[in-house]
Amino acid sequence: MVINEIQEFSKTKCKLIFEDFSSIVLYKKDLKRYSLSEGVELSDKQFKLLMEEILPYRAKSRCMKLLQSKDYTETEIRSKLRGDGYPENVIKIAVEYLYSFHYLDDARYAEAYYRSRCVRKSKKQIIMELQQKGVNKELIIDTLESVCSDSPEEDELQCISKLLAKRKYNDNEADITEREKVKAYLFRKGFQIDNINSCMRNFDWKNT
């Protein structure tokens, strides 16, 4: 595999572009360590070392560092690694490694995401946000069915009531403009209009 071009990637890294237009990102110190420069042809042994050992190890380490601070979805992890210049086959190795040790688990992520937001967001909105993060919709629904109560409507009513209390809403004192504003706010969050009307009717935050 011949190195056609070497480009600056960051202060410490560079991108090697090969004759087939594929590329990898290495540290600048790697160029000297492995005697790499434009026009040099990598031996099969060198290429295998980079693609099957060095880069997968670095990709795994990068993932572990990311996961130390918070959970990520598979889609988010893949996006991070692509941004770092890792090729797809190396990303695949890293992702499989994370799944094998349960460092990466979209079902666990969906459950934690729901539990941390269910008191202020509708189930519908949470599902939409998880989909935007790349979590499979069927997995989301299956996961939430196992963590939601047997009375999803009651959960939604409680959530709406908490949001109304947070906004210090008093239906007896609110004028038409305020009612419509609050109603629109809750509707945008994905709550059912019948449940919104039911909760807002005669609601007084002082009684919660």
109-157 confidence digits (pLDDT tens)? 998 898 888 877 888 889 999 999 999 999 998 888 877 655 556 677 8
The residue to which tokens 């009307």 are assigned: 197
The HSE-up count of residue 198 (CA atoms within 13 Å, CB side) is: 12
Helix (H, G, I), strand (E, B) or coil at 40: coil
At residue 194, the pLDDT reads 85
At residue 148, the pLDDT reads 67
Report domain extents, the chain. Answer: 1-42, 45-103, 106-147, 157-207
Tokens of 25: 């990102």
Tokens of 63: 């993932």
Q: Where are the alpha helices (DSSP H) in 101-150?
A: 106-117, 123-132, 137-147
The HSE-up count of residue 122 (CA atoms within 13 Å, CB side) is: 17
CA distances from 26 to 43, 56, 58, 93, 167 (A): 17, 12, 10, 17, 52
Report field, pTM of the whole predicted structure over 0.95: no
Give the closest residue to 160 by CA, choosing from 141, 188, 132. 188
Beta strands 3-8 and 13-18, pairing class: antiparallel
Tokens of 154: 């009651």
At residue 69, the pLDDT reads 86
Tokens of 147: 């963590």
Give the closest residue to 98 by CA, choosing from 130, 75, 129, 131. 75
| Rounded CA separation 189/128 (Å) | 10
Residue 26: strand pairing partners: 14
In order along its 208 residues, the chain shows pLDDT tens digits of 899 999 999 999 999 999 999 999 999 999 999 999 999 999 999 999 999 999 999 999 999 999 988 899 999 999 999 999 999 999 999 999 999 998 999 999 998 898 888 877 888 889 999 999 999 999 998 888 877 655 556 677 888 888 899 889 999 899 989 998 998 888 887 788 888 888 998 899 888 7
At residue 56, the pLDDT reads 97
| Rounded CA separation 122/23 (Å) | 43
At residue 156, the pLDDT reads 79
Quote the radius of gyration of the chain (alpha carbons, Å): 25
At residue 153, the pLDDT reads 62
Q: Residue 167 has what DSSP assignment?
A: T
The dihedral formed by the CA atoms of 39, 92, 77 and 148, expressed in degrees to the nearest 10? 170
